[in-house]
Structure 1
Amino acid sequence: MFTDADVAALYDVLNPWNAERPDSAFFDDLVMSAQAVLDVGCGTGSMLHQAREMGHAGRLVGLDPDRAALERARRRADVEWVEGVAADAAWDREFELATMASNAFQCFVTDEEMRSSLVAIRAALREGGRFVFETRHPQARAWEGWNPGNATEVVDGSGRRLRVSHTVESVAGGVVSLTETTSEADGEVLWVDRANLRFLDVPELRGFLDEAGFVVEEQFGDWTRGPVTDSSRVIIMIARRA
C-alpha cells in the first residue's frame, strides 16, 4: 500500500529543507528577519519547522490544501497550520512577510486563480509587507528534462527502494501538464499523481503583481541575488504591498 501520508513523507526525502542549500538559506534569512510570517503552499512545513529550530520566536502560519502534508507539518505544534488555498484566505493585515517557496507559485494555473490568490495574499500583509516567491523561468524549459529517463531512485523512511519519474503530457499556453509516477524497484506502480504548472516570464509576473496592488522591490535570477539574464533558470520576486 502507498498512502497520502507516504506521499507526504517521500516529498521530504526528495526535497529536504537544508540551510546549506542556497534556496533554503535565501528564504531562511527572510523568515528570520520578520516577526509574523505566512507561508503559502507550506506543504509539509519544513521551512517553518526550520525557522523554529533556528530560534524564531514570532508568529508562523502555514497554509496548504493538502491534508496529508499538513498532518506531517503538525508534528510541530508551535506553528499555526491552516488547510486551504490562497484565494480563500481571509487574514487582514496580519503579516510582515508572505512566502511561496519550492516553486509553489506555479500551481496558480488560471488567470482567475492567480488574481484572486494575489489579492488575498496582499490583504494578509501589513502596510509595506513583502511577498517573496520563486518560479522556474520558462526560457530554461525545465519540462524537457521531466521524462522517465531522468527518474530519481530513493530509499524512503521505511527502507523501501523507490523510483520516481515524470512524464509531460502537454505544453500549451504556458501551462505544463505532467504525471509523477512512484514505483517499487521492480517496476510495480504504487502512485500516480497529476499536476499542472504555469510558467510565466518577468513581464507577465510583474503585470499580475501590479494589478493586485504590489510593487516589485527586487527581482533576481539566482539564489546569490544575481540579475535575471538570458541563462537564468529561476525568477525570484520580492514584491511589497503598495
Structure 2
Amino acid sequence: MFSDADAAALYDLMYPWDVARYPSDAFHHDLVMAADAVLDVGCGTGSMLHHARERGHSGRLAGIDPNRAALERARRRTDIEWYEGTAADVSWDREFDLATMASNAFQCLVDDDELRASLAAIRTALRDGGRFSFETRHPQARAWEGWNPGNAADVVDASGRALRVWHEVESVVGDVVTFTETTAEPGGAVLRVDRTSLRFLDVPALNAFLAEAGFAVEGQYGDWFRGPVTDTSQVIVTIARRT
C-alpha cells in the first residue's frame, strides 16, 4: 500500500521548496516576504509558508488546502494558520495583503463555476489594493505531451524504498487535460494511481475571468524573471490587484 501520507511525503521529496534552485520559488518568496498578511490557496504541504517563517516573516501566514494528508505535513509548524478546504469554503473579509496560488495550483480550478467562486473568495479575502499572484502553464507549450511513462522518475523515499513515478494522459477535452500519476516499485508492481484534471487557460481567457471577478492585471510575465509573455513562453505568471 502507498498511503495518502506516503504520497504527501513523496511530493515534498520530488518537489522541494528551494528559492536558490528554482526561480519560481524565489519569485513567490519575495512577494510573500514583502507582505504583512499572506493567504496561500492550495498550500499543499505548506513548504512555501514554512520557508517564509524560517526566513523571518513575522506577520500573519495562513494556508488552505483540501488535501488532509498534505495539511498534516503542513501542520508540523504551529506558528502558521492552517485550514482544510478551498477558498470558496471560507469567508475572510479584507484580511490579507497577498494571496498566492503557487506550483500551478490555479490549474486545479477546472470548471467555470469553481473558478469564479474561488476568484470571488480570494478577492473578498484581500484588502483594498491587495494582490493575487499565481502561475499557470501556457497551453501553447503543450506540457502534457511530455507526461508519459517514457519520462518516469526513479526516486528513493524517506524510508529508503525505491519507487518509480510516471504520468499518462487520458484525455484532452477543450482546455482541460486529465491524466494519471502512477507510483510503482521499480519492477512494475503498482502501488497507487491518482487521477487529476488541470485547466490550461490562455492569456485572453485568463484575464477575462480576472476582470469579471474584480481584479486588474498589474503584471503578467512569460518567465520567472518578469520577461513578457511571448509565442514561446511555457508559463503565464500573473500578479493581479483587487480593484
Output the TM-score relative to the length of structure 2: 0.99
**Is the aligned partner of 1:42 residue 2:49?**
no
Matches for 1:59-78 after TM superposition, within 5 Å: 59-78=60-79
- Deviation at residue 111 of structure 1 after TM alignment: 0.4
Which runs of structure 1 show a deviation greater than 4 angstroms over 4 or more consecutive aligned residues? none
Q: Are 2:16 and 1:6 equivalent residues in the alignment?
A: no
Q: Which residue number in structure 1 is paired with residue 203 of structure 2?
A: 202
Structure 1 CA distance, aligned partners of 2:90 and 2:41?
10
Equivalent AA in structure 2 for residue 29 of structure 1? D
- After TM superposition, the structure 1 = structure 2 runs for residues 180-199 of structure 1, keeping only pairs within 5 Å, are 180-199=181-200
Task: Please tell me the residue identity of whatever aligns with 1:146.
Answer: W
Give the secondary-structure state (helix, strand or coil) at the position aligned to 2:197: strand
| Aligned positions, number | 242
CA deviations on 1:128-162 (whole Å, 9 max, x unpaired) are 00000000000000000000111111111111111
**Aligned 1:221-240 pairs, distance under 5 A:** 221-240=222-241
Which whole-Å CA distance do the structure 2 matches of 1:25 and 1:214 have between them? 24
Where structure 2 has 5 or more consecutive residues not aligned to the other structure, the ranges are none
* Distance (Å, rounded) in 2 between the aligned partners of 1:217 and 1:2: 43
TM-score (norm 1): 0.99
* CA distance in structure 2 between the partners assigned to 1:19 and 1:235 by the alignment: 19
Q: Is the 8 A contact 1:176 1:198 kept in 2?
A: yes
Shift of 1:2: 1.2
Alpha-carbon distance in 2 for matches of 1:52, 1:217: 26
Amino acid at match of 1:161: A
Per-residue deviation, residues 59-112 of structure 1 (Å, max 9, x unmatched): 000000000000000110000000001222210000000000000000000000
- Contact 1:41 1:62 (8 Å CA) reproduced: yes
- For 1:154-203, what per-residue CA distance to the aligned partner results, in whole angstroms no more than 9, with x for missing partners? 11111111110000000011000000000011111111000000000000
Q: Which amino acid letter does the alignment assign opposite residue 112 of structure 1?
A: D
Superimposed CA distance per residue, residues 28-67 of structure 1 (whole angstroms, 9 cap, x where no aligned partner): 0000000100000000000000001100000000000000
Q: 1:74·1:81 contact (CA, 8 Å) conserved in 2?
A: yes
1:81-92 aligned at under 5 Å gives the runs 81-92=82-93
Which amino acid in structure 2 is aligned with residue 41 of structure 1?
Answer: G
> What amino acid maps onto 2:136 in structure 1?
T
Gaps of 5+ in 1: none
Q: Distance in 1 between matches of 2:48 and 2:224?
A: 16
- Other structure's SS at 1:81 match: strand
User: 3-state SS of the aligned residue for 2:52?
Assistant: helix
> Quick one: distance in 2 between partners of 1:186 and 1:106?
33
Report the identity percentage.
Answer: 72
Residue in structure 2 matched with residue 26 of structure 1 by the alignment: 27
Residue type at the aligned position of 2:199: R
